[in-house]
Amino acid sequence: MIGLYGLVSGRVQGVGFRYFVRDCARHCKVTGFANNLADGRVEVLLS
């Protein structure tokens, strides 16, 4: 299994962003998780 780890920061505009990302991931058969960090960044692990 190949995995990708990353930290994401910035400002997300629009409440539909989570659903958009989820749908894109499902379409591409990507699995993983996202975790909100205390400093405002999001930690992601994709596989």
Q: Which sequence positions are flagged as catalytic?
A: 18, 36
The SS3 of residue 33 is strand
Which residues are within 8 A (CB) of 28 and not within 5 positions of it... i.e. 6 or more apart? Answer: none
How far is 30 from 47, CA to CA, in rounded Å?
A: 6
